[in-house]
Amino acid sequence: MKQTYYITTPIYYPSGNWHIGHCYTTVICDALARFHKLSGDDVFFLTGTDEHGQKVEKEALKRGITPREFIDPLVFELKDMWRLLDVEYDRFLRTTDEEHVACVQKIYQKLYESGDVYKSEYEGYYCTPCESFWTEAQLKDGKCPDCGREVVLQKEESYFFRLSKYAPALLEHYQKNPEFLQPKSRVNEMVNNFLKAGLQDLSISRTTVKWGVPLPFDPKHTAYVWIDALSNYISALGYGSDDDSLFRKYWPADLHMVGKEIVRFHAIIWPAVLMALGLPLPKQIYGHGWLLIGGEKLSKSKEAERPELTDPYELVKRYGADAVRYFLLREIPFGSDGEYTTERFLNRVNADLANDLGNLVSRTQAMIAQNFGNLPPRGAQEGTDGELIAVCEGAYGKVKAAMDALDAPAALSAIFALVSRANKYIDETTPWLLAKDPAKRERLGAVLYNLAEAVRIAAILLRPFLPRAAQAILQSFSCGESGFGALAFGTLAAGTPVTRIPPLFPRLDVKKELAAVAALNAKNASKTQSAPKVQSAPRPEKQEIDISDFEKVELKVGEVIACERVPKADKLLHETVRIGGETRSIVSGIAKYYTPEEMVGKRVVVVTNLKPVTLRGVLSEGMILCAEDENGGLALVSPERAMKSGGSVR
Ligand code: MSP
């Protein structure tokens, strides 16, 4: 029977300051989700955005725009980042989604009715960047003990959750379920510093923050953003709604993967809320470590002080999604912190991907092409063939054990042990010498068959980690769809067409790359210091028009930088369009004529001063122009020569 596997990432603050550290949690979850899907499990992989709260409210205010105008482009940018990194989630939840808001209200109502929520007054400190409350005694040198930034004294009427009541039950849960929180090192902190010290009731509503979910029993209060955010793990499954079939199927979650700084919210507050709701607790919470630069948590605010390339878009653009995924999954010892430098990244890519994997694939394919065309027959075993075959056959067990322990670096190390063994086999069997002797042709065929099988098996095992490279390798052996069911050595039939592919990971000149990165950072320094990458520009104060006022229509050249289908709307595509310095979300009825992949990179003409509308829950801030034929078929209108995005169309 299929097992269900429900895995979640934290939902991201729409800050726009994404760096490679942010990609860590989600790339790990994607590899785990892909591994379980390939294992035949029924997987639900959830991610999304945490959009309410004081931080967003303040940022929008600072820019003179609404919170919604502030967050929408950032949410699209985040989705774009996941697309670039080949992250394949099953649901992207926004805490501004109607169903989520309704679910949060249901949760508050339930807690209120059961007596676990009461009204009082909050007096204490608040850290806006962390959205967390602190008592004076908890502060470190008067600052937030988590992030070291300024806190503000807050005094306001608030509803409280009886967190203190759940300390004994939580303690018992920790004692009975040693797997509940991992790695073990995080348990001590939760149990000794928090649970045993006794919990205080938690302020869970704000009257001074307007950008939040109004409480159903007292709408001048909005929900505390952490309760709002944590609820996403069940609202995404329809908890409390008319259709809670997903909730019944997938809850409790198998794994909440989170960074170590937010373990406290997940391992204390969230289970207490679930207990109060009478719901089972997630099976496991994993608090992973951080990517560090110079021993400090990688963060965008320190960008100007360091010469490293940390921008995920730039990294993917220069080196490809697989290289970025590989570094994150292989280099950071799981559960611990790991240092990031561009040089380390480049060296890792060169050593493992360009040299070990890339060479193995290209040498094997080149020798098959030169000597046989298609795959030669398997032939008799001799020499070290048995050793190679044993490594191939034993690899899946090792990868599975590592992935069951959530240890992606160990899984990759098992796969690359296979790759190394195969490279050693080439040195041992010297196929280039066999090729010179016509009497050895049969042996040459057997050696190349064994190598092809080693490459194919490594590629299947690499699918969760390097989806693109794995797919390209498998396709070149005419078996693009192979899953874990095809791991047996000897599966490929003699005569299978083998096509040569261009180098998967061309060798990088580290010195040259570091110089290019330094130049790039210098160019970006002023930009990145002063403004987040994508910023919703304050809307110019101009009269919005109807389409009939054609003379007043403002038309501009835009570039489609991301595109996806609108769920449950077979005619609609949702494009992210760059128009000069601005990024817009646009919905168009062209899904019958263009695929999302075809749209990306297209130069289009956009009506930029149309009143924004929401179509099927997606914001549309403009219209992409199309020509229509007599049958209603649509074709995009594009400038005839390459024109810069943002240019006006007259
Ligand atoms: N919105 C909250 C989570 C709410 S979940 C109910 C939040 N968002 S975040 O955008 O700040 O962080 C998202 C993820 O990125 C977290 O898992 C965080 O630990 C991770 N990382 C951010 N910087 C990181 C590093 N430098 N290294 C590794 N992961 C880091 O927290």
Averaged pLDDT for residues 491-510: 96
Averaged pLDDT for residues 453-460: 98
Compute, in angstroms, the gap from residue 13 CA to the centroid of ligand 1: 8
8 A C-beta contact, residue 15 and residue 53: no
Output the average pLDDT for the chain.
92
Least trusted range by pLDDT, from 129-133, 213-217, 254-258, 403-407: 129-133
Sequence-separated (6 or more) residues with CB below 8 Å from residue 426: 360, 363, 451
Closest ligand 1 atom to 230 CA: 6
8 A C-beta contact, residue 604 and residue 556: no
Q: Report which protein residue has its CA nearest ligand 1's atom 5.
A: 10
The per-residue pLDDT for 372 is 97
Q: Report which protein residue has its CA nearest ligand 1's atom 14.
A: 22
The per-residue pLDDT for 305 is 61
**Of all residues in the chain, what percent carry a pLDDT higher than 90?**
77
CA distance 557 to 623: 11
CA distance 174 to 192: 12
The per-residue pLDDT for 301 is 61
Q: What is the pLDDT of residues 285-312, one digit of tens each?
A: 999 999 999 899 987 665 556 679 999 9
Q: Structural domains in the chain?
A: 341-486 (1.10.730.10), 547-636 (2.40.50.140)
The token duo for 515 is: 């110089």
Least trusted range by pLDDT, from 214-218, 565-569, 623-627: 565-569
8 A C-beta contact, residue 520 and residue 303: no
Q: Report which protein residue has its CA nearest ligand 1's atom 17.
A: 259
Residue type, 239: Y
Q: Ligand 1 site: residues with CB under 6 angstroms? A: 10-13, 21-22, 24-25, 50, 229-230, 232, 258-259, 261-262, 290-291, 297-298
Q: Report which protein residue has its CA nearest ligand 1's atom 9.
A: 12
Helix, strand, coil percentages, rounded to 5, for the chain: 45, 20, 35
Buried b (16+ CB within 10 A) or exposed e, 483-521: ebeebebeebeeebebeeeeebbeebeeeebbeebeeeb
* SS3 (DSSP) at 175: helix
pLDDT(644) > 70: yes
The answer for 601, left when phi > 0, alpha when psi is -120 to 50, beta otherwise, is: left
Residue type, 489: F
Compute, in angstroms, the gap from residue 259 CA to the centroid of ligand 1: 6
The length of the chain, given as a count of residues:
650
The answer for 289, left when phi > 0, alpha when psi is -120 to 50, beta otherwise, is: beta
* SS3 (DSSP) at 627: strand
CA distance 469 to 323: 10
CA distance 160 to 224: 10
The token duo for 272 is: 């207490």
Averaged pLDDT for residues 475-504: 96
The pTM score is 0.82
8 A C-beta contact, residue 346 and residue 514: yes
Place of tokens 């302020």: 203
Which string of DSSP letters, residue by residue, matches 338-355?
Answer: EE--HHHHHHHIIIIIII
Q: Is 476 exposed, middle or buried (0-12, 13-18, 19+ CB in 10 A)?
A: buried
Mutate which of 30, 230, 262, 298 for ligand 1? The one with the most ligand atoms within 8 Å of its CB, which is: 262
**DSSP letter, residue 139:** -
Write down the H helix ranges in 40-145.
54-63, 67-84, 98-113
Compute, in angstroms, the gap from residue 431 CA to the centroid of ligand 1: 49
Q: Report which protein residue has its CA nearest ligand 1's atom 21.
A: 22
Closest ligand 1 atom to 9 CA: 17
Compute, in angstroms, the gap from residue 635 CA to the centroid of ligand 1: 41
Q: What is the pLDDT of residues 28-51, one digit of tens each?
A: 999 999 999 999 999 999 999 999
Least trusted range by pLDDT, from 191-195, 324-328, 640-644: 640-644
The per-residue pLDDT for 585 is 87
Q: Which helix (H) or strand (E) holds 409?
A: helix 408-429
CA distance 57 to 210: 8
Among residues 352, 330, 365, 556, the alpha carbon closest in space to that of 465 is found at 330
* SS3 (DSSP) at 549: coil
Among residues 284, 268, 14, 30, the alpha carbon closest in space to that of 166 is found at 268
8 A C-beta contact, residue 564 and residue 573: yes
pLDDT tier, 650 (very low <50, low <70, confident <90, very high otherwise): confident
Averaged pLDDT for residues 222-233: 98
Among residues 207, 250, 287, the alpha carbon closest in space to that of 46 is found at 250
Averaged pLDDT for residues 55-84: 94
Compute, in angstroms, the gap from residue 604 CA to the centroid of ligand 1: 35
CA angle in degrees (0–180, nearest 5) for 336-24-466:
110
Mutate which of 8, 15, 24, 265 for ligand 1? The one with the most ligand atoms within 8 Å of its CB, which is: 24
pLDDT(143) > 80: yes
Mutate which of 17, 22, 50, 82 for ligand 1? The one with the most ligand atoms within 8 Å of its CB, which is: 22
CA distance 471 to 468: 5
Q: What is the largest CA-CA distance in the chain?
A: 91
Q: What is the pLDDT of residues 309-347, one digit of tens each?
A: 999 999 999 999 999 999 999 999 989 999 999 999 999
The per-residue pLDDT for 532 is 43
The per-residue pLDDT for 417 is 98
pLDDT(258) > 50: yes
pLDDT tier, 534 (very low <50, low <70, confident <90, very high otherwise): very low
Place of tokens 């052996």: 477
CA distance 367 to 364: 5
The per-residue pLDDT for 628 is 86
8 A C-beta contact, residue 567 and residue 603: no
Closest ligand 1 atom to 13 CA: 10
Compute, in angstroms, the gap from residue 61 CA to the centroid of ligand 1: 24
Averaged pLDDT for residues 373-394: 97
Closest ligand 1 atom to 257 CA: 17
The per-residue pLDDT for 539 is 37
Buried b (16+ CB within 10 A) or exposed e, 263-294: bbbbbbbbbbbbbbbeeebbebbbbbbbbbbe
**Of all residues in the chain, what percent carry a pLDDT higher than 70?**
95
Give the CA count within 13 Å in the CB-facing half-sphere of 259: 19
Residue 132, φ and ψ in degrees, nearest 5 = -135, 150
Q: Report which protein residue has its CA nearest ligand 1's atom 7.
A: 12
**DSSP β-ladder status, 218-223 and 205-206:** antiparallel
